[in-house]
Amino acid sequence: MRRYAFIIGAALPLIAAHSASAEDVVIRIEAKRGAEAARTTAEGWGAQFPDVVTFPLSDGWIGIALGPMPREEATARLTELKNASKVPADSFLSAAEGRELTPVAGSAPAAADADAAAADAGTGSPSTFPGGVAPAGAELPATDTPADPEMPAADAGTTDPATSDSAAPTTDATTEATTESGAAAATDPAPVVAEPAAPPAPAQVFIRIESSADRAKAEAQLAEYRKALPDAGLWALPNGRLAVALGPFDEAAGGEWLTAFKNAKAVPRDAFLTPEAEMGQVEIAGQTPAPGTILTPESQPVPMPALEDVQRALRWAGHYDGAIDGKDGPKTQAAIAEEIVRLRAAPDPAIAMAELIRRREAWRAEMGLTQLQDSHTGLSLPVPMEKLQFDRSERALSIYGPKNGSGAALILFSQPGGQQEMLDIAGLVTALGWVPQPERKVERGSITLDGRNQTHIGHAEGKVVDGRVQGFVLIWPASDPEDQHRLAAEISDNLARFAPGATEAQPEAPAIAPATEGTTDGTTDGAAQN
């Protein structure tokens, strides 16, 4: 039986007792800020799983995971847990090596250990101890024939109460009754108590999306819908038509998700629910969709998070490019609907957005974002300093290069100027290859550059604020586009001036001279491309 024998009261770091090999991983399921919040959450998970561990992240965050275990085992287990909706849909594998893993005291025993736990409840049996001998002072388990509680332990099970002088006298009647009672106990089986019947399984339904009598057309429809609904399948209906459908769902969940999909325009307005018995035969199998969190009539309403937080999370997820203004406009609503379909945490917007915000915060903790205050430019922003290190300052520039071979870089800029100076800086950024072959988005008072080559992704933003041009350039490995996009959004939404820059004390000419002719439009001949 698995035992965390070294856990007494507060858990001891697992890293001291379990040295994870290079192939060992953990299944990351949650992250919480603060020891108390993490402890409470981890104990909740511990009631379900036997191997819950915690480990510190940056900035006061604490990760919660299952493991450690070999990667192959973890991959199969993660798939199984997600399919059964026993862990969050965004759970992922993370390396165990180098982490200070602390097991959660009181984690549920594994199913295979439950019988063993019941067998040696209390002090345990002699077989629990090495050599089958209990240590001194340990109680032995009770025998099949219990001793008389009034007798000394040495005489228990050896004295016949019918002949002992100390035993209470018995009559023939009581002896007979006792004999009969004992015989009945030995021969009559214990009464069988019928277990209550299990409630009937909820009715299963499918979301019928579209149908066609032509197979080629139906398969093309399936391929198109799978772009947004990858778990959709193709069914041969009893009437001979082929239908694109999604399911099965419990009836209540099917109705909620049908509404959510329609709101997101992921399915036609005439999509409907069909009982499983009317679906016919599977032609191209889909996957059983995760039901997510479904509100019941007894559930308490969940408040919608603050819209500014929702907009930041949607922008981080790549579904929103509007202003962070806390206004409930059509862009915000469309992004919410799209994210509900993608995340599948819940069809309810409030629940889904709360989960998205939680995922963003967990990602920030995983990336190790800290608030950088750059004194040279006077700019403040969140950055992953584990991947960056200060390199140098040049006029209005602060340059941070890669750390530990991360392949990342960050350039901050701030100088006096307006629209023209902003365009000049954009030309210089392009000429130096920081943003290769960029696509430009120019508006009054702002500019955005996006480009990539085989080695890196470049993203630059500049704005005119109070008579100054300020902004950043983020360079990130081309192999990690998701984190690049998320980090660029975080920097963009949180870039601010906290103090005058070092170059503002003395008036001077623009710190960045106008770019040479042919560079301000971002269309160079490919010179200086990295």
The predicted-structure confidence for 335-364, as pLDDT tens digits, reads as follows: 999 999 999 999 999 999 999 999 999 999
> Pick the residue with more confidence: 112 or 367?
367
Q: How far apart are CA 320 and CA 312, in angstroms?
A: 8
Nearest to 429, CA basis, from 404, 454, 460? 460
**CATH code, domain with 263:** 3.30.70
Q: Are residues 97 and 213 in the same domain?
A: no
Which of helix, strand or coil describes residue 299? Answer: coil
Above 60 in pLDDT, residue 167? no
- Asked, for residue 458, whether it belongs to a domain, the answer is yes
- Asked, for residue 520, whether it belongs to a domain, the answer is no
- State both tokens at 203: 């009715």
Q: Are residues 317 and 407 in the same domain?
A: no
Taking residues 197-215, report their average pLDDT: 82
- State both tokens at 15: 């890293």
Q: Are residues 274 and 223 in the same domain?
A: yes
DSSP tag of 50: S
Instruction: Tell me what pLDDT residue 189 has.
Output: 57
Distance spanning both ends of the chain, measured CA to CA: 57
Instruction: Tell me what pLDDT residue 235 has.
Output: 95
Which of helix, strand or coil describes residue 429? Answer: helix
- Asked, for residue 80, whether it belongs to a domain, the answer is yes
Amino acid at 112: A
Nearest to 472, CA basis, from 408, 530, 529? 408
Give the gyration radius of the chain's Cα atoms: 33
Taking residues 82-108, report their average pLDDT: 81
Phi, psi of 409 (to 5 degrees): -155, 155
Above 80 in pLDDT, residue 244? yes
| Number of structural domains found in the chain | 4
- State both tokens at 357: 């915000």
Q: Are residues 423 and 492 in the same domain?
A: yes
Residues for the chain: how many in total?
A: 530
Q: Are residues 399 and 497 in the same domain?
A: yes
What count of other Cβ atoms lies within 10 Å of the Cβ of residue 49? 20
Above 90 in pLDDT, residue 297? no
Instruction: Tell me what pLDDT residue 296 has.
Output: 73
- Asked, for residue 33, whether it belongs to a domain, the answer is yes
In the structure, what pLDDT confidence band is assigned to residue 266 with cuts at 50, 70 and 90?
A: very high
Q: Are residues 379 and 487 in the same domain?
A: yes
Q: Are residues 315 and 395 in the same domain?
A: no
- State both tokens at 75: 């991959």
Taking residues 414-421, report their average pLDDT: 92
Which of helix, strand or coil describes residue 42? Answer: helix
Q: How far apart are CA 370 and CA 507, in angstroms?
A: 32
The answer to whether the CB of 82 falls within 8 A of the CB of 290 is yes
Q: How far apart are CA 84 and CA 253, in angstroms?
A: 15
- Asked, for residue 300, whether it belongs to a domain, the answer is no
Please provide the DSSP assignment of 137-185 as one string: TPPPPP-SSPPPTTS-GGGTTTS-TTT-TTSPP--HHHHHHHHHHHHHH
Q: Are residues 376 and 469 in the same domain?
A: yes
In the structure, what pLDDT confidence band is assigned to residue 109 with cuts at 50, 70 and 90?
A: low
- Asked, for residue 32, whether it belongs to a domain, the answer is yes
Above 90 in pLDDT, residue 381? yes
**CATH code, domain with 425:** 3.40.1000.10
- State both tokens at 134: 């209990």
Instruction: Tell me what pLDDT residue 37 has.
Output: 81
- Asked, for residue 76, whether it belongs to a domain, the answer is yes
Cα–chain-centroid distance for residue 429? 36
Q: Supply the range of the domain harboring residue 30.
A: 14-112
Q: Are residues 389 and 497 in the same domain?
A: yes
Q: pTM of the prediction?
A: 0.57
Q: Are residues 318 and 386 in the same domain?
A: no
Please provide the DSSP assignment of 278-305 as one string: GS-EEEE---PPP------TTSPPPPPP
> Pick the residue with more confidence: 158 or 340?
340
Taking residues 6-27, report their average pLDDT: 48
Q: How far apart are CA 289 and CA 85, in angstroms?
A: 10
HSE of 347, CA atoms in CB hemisphere, 13 A = 20
322 to each of 47, 310, 355, 444, how far by Cα in Å? Answer: 42, 12, 21, 16
Q: Are residues 418 and 496 in the same domain?
A: yes
The answer to whether the CB of 279 falls within 8 A of the CB of 206 is yes
Nearest to 241, CA basis, from 201, 209, 287? 209
| Residues in Cβ contact with 359 at an 8 Å cutoff, skipping those fewer than 6 apart | 90, 313, 343
Q: Are residues 373 and 312 in the same domain?
A: no
Instruction: Tell me what pLDDT residue 112 has.
Output: 41
Please provide the DSSP assignment of 411-456 as one string: EEEEEE--HHHHHHHHHHHHHTTSSSS-EEEEETTEEEEEEE-SSE
In the structure, what pLDDT confidence band is assigned to residue 8 with cuts at 50, 70 and 90?
A: very low
Nearest to 368, CA basis, from 383, 388, 389? 383
- Asked, for residue 525, whether it belongs to a domain, the answer is no
- Rounded to the nearest 10 degrees, the angle between the axes of helix 251-263 and helix 330-343 is 140
- State both tokens at 265: 């325009």
Nearest to 141, CA basis, from 118, 161, 108? 118
126-145: burial string, b at 16+ Cβ within 10 Å, e else: eebeeeeebeeeeeeeeeee
